[in-house]
């Protein structure tokens, strides 16, 4: 009954590889997000999708490509991984049309590029 | 551009003390403010959500207040316990010129409660 689930939880890969992180929410929310938490633990938004449409793209390198096949799923594909991509990536969801509700976050994916 | 600051950056207290964590934001045009807890190596757990029209919210030993006009929020933890040790994050939901909202996080307060 996990509300926002991400897979995998840990990902270790070599520089130059391509990898994907998947996210699913069962809350019926219409908006999903990807956040990046850097080594200093600061959380910053990367992307947001509302009903499968991209609404936020915070100047993230185009090696990062989000895809939302439906409003319950938001996947993140990363091409040509670099050392600086090592971070914890969090997926989140919210109900945009009813802003009285807050955000629900997944448990994170710790990406390590070696 | 919305900026969120939390002070102190770190706090160490003995068990049983009452404590206050502070959050300030630069743009008072927010929809709501949310306090999260993050344990080491773990995800974010939502603690309290305050709507822009509200002044405070309470859950158990936690009480969060909001003064939107001055751009401030406080999280009050009563009778602290070692299990409260974690990083506490403040985040505000602001509107963008696209009409959608965005959650902006503070820098966090790392709390250690010693037995």
B75 CA: distance to closest CA in chain A (Å): 17
Give CA–CA dist B70/A58, Å, rounded: 27
Query: What is the arithmetic mean of pLDDT over B64-93?
Result: 96
pLDDT of res. A21: 98
Strand A109-113 vs strand B101-105: parallel, antiparallel, or unpaired? Answer: unpaired
Other beta carbons within 10 Å of B111: 21
Nearest-Cα residue of chain A relative to residue B103:
A45
User: Which residues are CB-contacts of B17 (< 8 A; sequence separation ≥ 6)?
Assistant: B79, B80, B113
A2 CA: distance to closest CA in chain B (Å): 13
Give the count of Cβ contacts less than 8 A between chain A and B.
60
Cβ–Cβ gap B34/A96 under 8 Å? no
Which of A102, A106, A107 to probe the B interface (max B CBs under 10 A)? Answer: A102
Cβ–Cβ gap B43/A44 under 8 Å? no
Three-class SS of chain A: CCCEEEECCEEEECCCCCEEEEEEECCCCCEEEEEEECCCCCEEEEEEEECCEEEEECCCCCCEEEEEEECCEEEEEECCCCHHHCEEEEEEEECCCCCCCCCEECCCEEEEEC
Q: What is the pLDDT of residues A63-98, one digit of tens each?
A: 999 999 999 999 999 999 999 999 999 999 988 765
Give CA–CA dist A80/B19, Å, rounded: 46
pLDDT band at A100 (very low <50, low <70, confident <90, very high): low
- With tokens 């994050």, the residue in question is B89
Q: What is the pLDDT of residues B28-76, one digit of tens each?
A: 999 899 999 999 888 899 999 999 999 999 999 999 999 999 999 999 9
User: Which residues are CB-contacts of A65 (< 8 A; sequence separation ≥ 6)?
Assistant: A76, A77, A78, A79
Nearest-Cα residue of chain A relative to residue B104:
A44
Cβ under 8 Å to B: A residues 77-106: 90, 92, 94, 96, 99-106
Sheet with A4-7, strands from edge to edge, namely A4-7, A19-25, A73-78, A64-70
Residue A88 · residue A111 · CB < 8 Å: yes
pLDDT of res. B41: 82
Consecutive H or E run containing A95: none
- Show the tokens assigned to B65: 């207040």
Residues of B in contact with A55 (CB under 8 A): 98, 100
Rounded to the nearest integer, the mean pLDDT of chain A is: 91
pLDDT of res. A98: 55
pLDDT band at B101 (very low <50, low <70, confident <90, very high): confident
Nearest-Cα residue of chain A relative to residue B99:
A55
Q: What is the pLDDT of residues A21-71, one digit of tens each?
A: 999 999 999 899 999 999 888 999 999 998 888 888 887 899 999 999 999
Residues of A in contact with B109 (CB under 8 A): none
Cβ–Cβ gap B49/A90 under 8 Å? no
Task: Name the β-bridge partners of A45.
Answer: A35
């Amino acid at each position: 009954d996990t509300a926002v689930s991400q897979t995998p939880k840990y990902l270790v890969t070599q520089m130059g590889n391509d990898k994907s992180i998947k996210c699913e929410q069962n809350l019926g929310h219409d908006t999903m997000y990807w956040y990046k938490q850097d080594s200093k633990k600061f959380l910053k938004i990367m992307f947001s999708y509302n009903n499968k449409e991209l609404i936020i793209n915070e100047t993230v390198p185009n090696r990062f490509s989000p895809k939302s096949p439906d409003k319950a799923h938001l996947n993140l594909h990363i091409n040509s991984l670099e050392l600086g991509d090592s971070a914890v990536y969090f997926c989140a969801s919210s109900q945009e049309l009813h802003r009285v509700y807050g955000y629900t976050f997944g448990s994170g994916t710790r990406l390590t590029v070696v | 551009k919305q900026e969120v600051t939390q002070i102190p950056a770190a706090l160490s207290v003995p068990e049983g003390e009452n404590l206050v964590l502070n959050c300030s934001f630069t743009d008072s045009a927010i929809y709501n403010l949310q306090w999260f807890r993050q344990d080491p190596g773990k995800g974010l757990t939502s603690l309290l959500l305050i709507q822009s029209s509200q002044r405070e919210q309470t859950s158990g030993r936690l009480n969060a207040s909001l003064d939107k006009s001055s751009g401030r929020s406080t999280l009050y933890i009563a009778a602290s316990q070692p299990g409260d040790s974690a990083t506490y994050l403040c985040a505000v939901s602001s509107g963008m010129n696209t009409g959608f909202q965005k959650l902006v996080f503070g820098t966090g307060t790392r709390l250690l409660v010693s037995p």
